[in-house]
């Protein structure tokens, strides 16, 4: 191997690491922004949910029967009893001043006891969190109230209950906690990894090649005796290293924000402590990520070489970034399936492989298919890139 | 010695380029059968107007692009089949060559020295020699972004010559330079000639060719129309100056 390959890689890395602006945007900013974003999201979501849950809803009840007034827990609901229905009460729900508006049929108790099935109209505001939460709680309360009336009908509250649910059962979930946690993570993480890997490489790729062409420094390099293949590979490897560092930074941001963001996951039943990956899982994660990086870097390098300026490269890069994002989002809301051919699809295959990895459902074949596919496509692109470095029309706009 | 034998360079034009050049032809003959010899210890000048094919010829000699036809030998090596070896014995400089302004002069010359497979010791001694000559030594640890245009040009020359090449090719050596830097550059080219190097320059400035070149080839529309020393060209054309001679040949070729 030509030792000048390392000279090129070393120079490219020095270019990045000695530029405070680039160090900040490619290595620190991803971690920082994710940490701040997730922490804020976690804290704000927790605060909002707590606030909604702690809120004592205001309810307007028209023609409420005595039995309801006795039954309802007045500590949990602030109920304003009225005799006459009015559209102004609906307006109050609409404006958010009142959470629930209920209208009972006249002589509700009497009708209920005579088996004549009276009606309760219950209105809420779907655009208001407080009203939504109040609807959930009042509906539960009305179900309990119905059971209570049933007991009244038959004269014995104890006879209403026909069976118990899960008596003497401490834990009704029969599941692998690790797998359940992984399932939760597999919704979000693969998509984030795929996007961060691409954006990390994208932030420096155009500058590394198209920038050199634009500044005129590429021509200076091409008159040295270094083979153009070596120059091309040096840039590809350097960009790969930067992309990995950038994505590692994003990862650190995710991990650091976990305590604060944990509330978001905890509500989905995810217990981060139960996650335990083995050596093979880490190896597979590394293999999938490194081959995905190779693919991204090859695409970015090729686009950069074919562009005359950084601006042009970024213009071409935007739709490719969109494709990566779409691939990420489609796997987010689907189970991805396990047909092996899907793992051959570039980018998409890698993301569903990551999804299966987090869900502890990844097989060796899946890893081989997705990594093999990425390697083959990246190799073809790198072969083309080497050719482009020798193409005078591309390199000199000749 | 650099021998250029009947080289031709044809570019394919895109539709956009055809529109820009206002032509219906999908090809452009940039160089059309050029031959010349440049010997050690002399400065060979390619003189011609913009678009005559000077830069394309020099790029072919430097292995940056391949001629469509013809042969080029650099110090006995056929330049397409030995492009890497040729580049290690040759320096190609142009005012378009730029250096990454983020690095210091030292970093830059070290990088290019390593690309030329030089040892650290050789890089250091050659760097000191070049930096002293061009007056860069005291600025060697400064970033290139802090350099003046003239200093950048001098550093570009130093970087290009780090490997002490046998052949130095300079495309438009004084173009865009202030008078002091231009003088420093031409003086250095003369020094290289006196050291026995093969020096090839291209220029469209008559006075540069008159003062600097031992051999001159006037190139118009991709063809060398006359070649010789300044006196030989003046004798042949019976002109009083190189400029007059040039316009005579130009009128003959263009039919004006």
Indicate whether A110 and A196 sit together in one domain.
no
The total number of structural domains that make up chain B: 2
Is residue A336 scored above 60 in pLDDT?
Answer: no
pLDDT at A272: 60
Instruction: Name the residue among A11, A222, A393 with its Cβ closest to that of B64.
Output: A222
Residue B183 lies in a domain: no
User: Does A109 reach chain B within 8 Å, measured CB to CB?
Assistant: no
- A308 interface with B at CB cutoff 8 Å: no
CATH code at position B196: 3.40.50.300
Q: Which of A177-191, B37-51, B178-192 has the highest mean pLDDT?
A: B37-51
> Is B117's CB within 8 Å of A225's CB?
yes
Q: Which domain holds residue A155?
A: 55-159
Of B65, B88, B99, the CB nearest to A225: B88
- Strand arrangement, sheet containing B77-78: B27-38, B2-12, B69-74, B77-78
Mean pLDDT of chain B: 90
pLDDT of residue A261: 61
Same domain, B18 and B34: yes
Q: Strand, helix or coil at A331?
A: helix
Q: Do A396 and B59 touch (CB under 8 A)?
A: yes
pLDDT for B68 beyond 90: yes
Bridge partners of residue A140, in order along the sequence: none
The distance in angstroms from the start CA to the end CA of chain B is: 37
Picking from A96, A125, A159, the residue at the C-terminal end of a domain is: A159
Q: Please give the average per-residue pLDDT across A123-138, as a whole number.
A: 93
pLDDT at A271: 61
Classify each residue of B55-66 as buried b or exposed e, where b means 16 or more C-beta atoms within 10 Å of its C-beta: bbbbbbbbbbbe
Task: Say which residue, B89 or A201, is predicted with more confidence.
Answer: B89
| Shared-domain flag, residues A15 and A67 | no
**CA-CA distance, B126 to B212, in Å (whole number)?**
25
Asked if residue A117 and residue A216 are part of one domain, the reply reads no
Reading the block at residue A383, the tokens are: 């072969």
For residues B74 and B192, membership in a common domain is answered with yes
Is A107 in the same domain as A28? no
User: Could you tell me if B62 and B16 lie in one domain?
Assistant: yes
pLDDT at A179 over 80: no
Q: Quick one: B67 and B193 in the same domain?
A: yes
- A375 to chain B, closest Cα gap in Å: 29
Q: Where are the beta strands (DSSP E) in B75-207?
A: 77-78, 90-94, 167-171, 198-203
Q: With bands split at pLDDT 50, 70 and 90, how would you rate the model's confidence at A194? A: confident
CB-CB under 8 Å, A398 with B65: yes
Same domain? B56 vs B73: yes
Average pLDDT over every residue of A70-82 = 91
A residues 329-368 lying closer than 8 A (beta carbon) to B? none
Verify that B192 and B243 share a domain, yes or no.
yes
Residues A15 and A120 in one domain: no
B112 lies in some domain: yes
Lowest mean per-residue pLDDT among A113-122, A208-217, A307-316: A208-217
| Minimal C-alpha gap between B248 and chain A (Å) | 31
- A4 and A230 Cβ atoms separated by less than 8 Å: yes
- Residue A370, pLDDT > 90, answer yes
Closest CA in chain A for residue B118: A4
* Nearest CB neighbour to B112, from listed A14, A216, A224: A224
CB under 8 Å to A144, separation ≥6 — which residues?
A71
Q: Are residues B84 and B100 in the same domain?
A: no
Q: Determine the pLDDT at residue A327.
A: 86
Question: Hey, are the CB atoms on B64 and A224 less than 8 Å from each other?
Answer: no
Nearest CA in chain A to B100: A217
Q: Does residue A322 share a domain with residue A258? A: yes
Q: Pick from A128, A159, A190: which residue ends a domain?
A: A159
Shared domain for A42 and A71, answered yes or no, is no
Whether residues A215 and B98 touch (CB distance < 8 A) is answered with yes
**In terms of domains, do A60 and A41 share one?**
no
**What pLDDT score does A137 carry?**
93
The pLDDT assigned to A265 comes to: 58
**ipTM here:** 0.84
* B70 and B31 part of one domain: yes
Q: Tell me what pLDDT residue B93 has.
A: 85
In a domain, A116, yes or no: yes
**Domain CATH code at residue A121:** 3.40.1710.10
Q: What are phi and psi of B200, to 5 degrees?
A: -120, 130
Q: What angle do CA A122, A126, A127 make, to 5 degrees?
A: 145
Torsion sign (Cα): B237, B238, B242, B243: negative
Residue B179 lies in a domain: no
A390/B contact by beta carbon, under 8 A: no
- Taking 3-state DSSP, the helix, strand and coil percentages for chain B, each rounded to the nearest 5, stand at 40, 25, 30
Q: What is the pLDDT of residue A266?
A: 59
Tokens of B68: 């469509």
Tally of structural domains, chain A:
2
Same domain, A24 and A82: no
Range of the domain at B75: 1-89+167-173+188-256
Instruction: Work out the mean pLDDT of chain A and round it to a whole number.
Output: 86
Are A112 and A215 in a shared domain? no
Chain B: residue nearest A234 by CA? Answer: B115
| Least confident span in A136-140, A221-225, A243-247, A370-374 | A243-247
Same domain, A248 and A353: yes
Portion 181-210 of A in contact with B at CB < 8 A: none
Q: Is the same domain home to A285 and A375? A: yes
- CB contact (8 A) between residue B100 and residue A217: yes
In chain B, what residues touch A223 (CB-CB under 8 Å)? Answer: 62, 64, 87, 90-92, 97, 160
Regarding whether B193 and B70 lie in a shared domain, the answer is: yes
Tell me: the pLDDT tens digits for A236-282?
Answer: 899 989 888 887 887 787 777 766 665 565 555 556 666 677 888 88
Tens-digit pLDDT profile for residues A202-222: 888 888 888 888 877 787 788
The answer to whether A392 contacts B91, with C-beta atoms less than 8 Å apart, is no
A130, part of any domain: yes
A-chain residues within 8 Å CB-CB of B66? 392
B214 and B221 in contact (C-beta within 8 Å)?
A: no
- The residue among A116, A131, A159 that closes a domain is A159
Are B67 and B138 in a shared domain? no
């Amino acid at each position: 191997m030509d030792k000048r390959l390392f000279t090129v890689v070393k120079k490219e890395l020095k270019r990045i690491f000695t530029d405070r602006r680039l160090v900040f945007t490619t290595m620190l900013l991803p971690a920082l922004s994710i940490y701040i974003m997730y922490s804020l999201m976690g804290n704000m979501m927790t605060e909002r949910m707590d606030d909604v849950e702690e809120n004592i809803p205001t309810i307007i009840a028209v023609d409420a029967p005595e039995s309801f007034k006795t039954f309802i827990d007045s500590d949990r609901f602030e109920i304003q009893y009225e005799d006459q229905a009015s559209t102004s009460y609906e307006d109050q729900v609409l404006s958010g001043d009142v959470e629930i508006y209920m209208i009972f049929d006249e002589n509700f108790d009497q009708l209920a006891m005579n088996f004549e099935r009276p009606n309760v109209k219950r209105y809420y505001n779907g655009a208001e969190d407080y009203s939504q939460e109040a609807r959930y709680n009042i509906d539960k309360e009305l179900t309990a109230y119905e059971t209570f009336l049933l007991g009244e009908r038959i004269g014995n509250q104890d006879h209403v209950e026909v069976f118990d649910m899960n008596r003497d059962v401490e834990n009704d979930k029969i599941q692998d906690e690790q797998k359940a946690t992984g399932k939760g993570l597999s919704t979000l993480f693969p998509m984030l990894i795929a996007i961060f890997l691409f954006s990390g490489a994208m932030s420096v790729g155009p500058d590394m090649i198209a920038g050199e062409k634009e500044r005129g420094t590429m021509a200076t390099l091409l008159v040295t005796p270094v083979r153009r293949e070596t120059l091309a590979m040096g840039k590809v490897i350097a960009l790969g290293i930067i992309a990995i560092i950038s994505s590692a930074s994003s990862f650190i941001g995710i991990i650091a924000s976990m305590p604060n963001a944990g509330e978001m996951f905890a509500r989905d039943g995810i217990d981060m402590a139960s996650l335990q990956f083995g050596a093979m899982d880490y190896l597979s994660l590394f293999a999938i990520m490194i081959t995905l990086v190779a693919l991204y870097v090859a695409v970015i390098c090729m686009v950069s070489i074919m562009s005359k300026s950084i601006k042009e490269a970024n213009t071409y890069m935007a739709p490719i970034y969109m494709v990566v994002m779409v691939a990420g989002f489609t796997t987010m809301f689907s189970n991805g399936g396990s047909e092996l051919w899907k793992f051959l699809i570039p980018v998409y295959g890698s993301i569903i492989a990551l999804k299966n990895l987090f869900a502890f459902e990844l097989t060796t074949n899946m890893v081989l298919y997705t990594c093999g596919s990425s390697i083959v496509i990246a190799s073809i692109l790198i072969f083309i890139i080497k050719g482009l470095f020798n193409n005078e029309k591309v390199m000199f706009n000749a | 010695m650099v021998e250029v034998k009947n080289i031709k360079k044809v570019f394919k034009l895109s539709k956009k380029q055809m529109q820009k050049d206002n032509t219906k032809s999908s090809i452009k003959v940039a160089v059309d059968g050029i031959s010349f010899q440049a010997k050690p210890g002399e400065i060979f000048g390619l003189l011609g107007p913009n678009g005559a094919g000077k830069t394309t010829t020099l790029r072919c000699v430097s292995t940056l692009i391949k001629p469509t036809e013809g042969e080029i030998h650099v110090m006995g090596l056929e330049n397409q089949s030995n492009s890497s070896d040729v580049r290690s014995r040759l320096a190609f400089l142009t005012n378009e060559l730029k250096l990454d302004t983020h690095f210091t002069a030292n970093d830059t010359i070290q990088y290019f020295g390593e690309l030329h497979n030089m040892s650290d010791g050789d890089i250091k001694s050659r760097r000191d020699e070049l930096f002293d000559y061009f007056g860069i030594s005291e600025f060697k640890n400064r970033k290139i972004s802090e350099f003046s245009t003239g200093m950048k040009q001098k550093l570009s020359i130093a970087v290009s010559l780090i490997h002490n090449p046998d052949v130095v090719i300079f495309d438009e050596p004084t173009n865009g330079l202030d008078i002091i830097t231009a003088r420093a550059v031409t003086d250095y080219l003369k020094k290289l000639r006196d050291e026995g190097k093969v020096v090839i320059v291209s220029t469209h400035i008559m006075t540069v060719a008159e003062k600097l070149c031992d051999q001159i080839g006037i190139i118009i529309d991709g063809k060398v129309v006359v070649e010789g020393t300044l006196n030989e060209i003046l004798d042949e054309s019976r002109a009083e100056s190189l400029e007059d001679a040039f316009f005579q040949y130009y009128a003959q070729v263009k039919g004006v």
